[in-house]
Amino acid sequence: MPTAKAKPRGVKSQALRLVRDLPAASSWDDLMHRIYARLKIEAGLSDIASARVHTHASIRKEFVQP
């Protein structure tokens, strides 16, 4: 059985969805936080897809003193 793929969504429709999903009493800061979080998540997913990742061991080696 074929699976249905979601259509790519434009930035405008994604922004509208972010705004619609906010509670009624939200502030501009709440909206900006959601936008910022969304950008960071998308950047991380892009890094993973492009194999730009680090292992836990390599991070520990860089930041933890023996």
Structural domain total, the chain: 1
Which pLDDT value is given to residue 8?
64
CB-based burial, 11-50: b 16+ in 10 Å, e otherwise: eeeeeeeeeeeeeeeeeeeeeeebeeeeeeeeeeeeeeee
Query: With a threshold of 0.75, does the pTM exceed it?
Result: no
Answer whether residue 1 is part of any domain: no
Answer whether residue 12 is part of any domain: no
Please write the tens of the pLDDT for every residue from 13-33. 999 999 999 999 999 999 999
Answer whether residue 10 is part of any domain: no
Nearest to 38 by CA among 7, 16, 23: 16
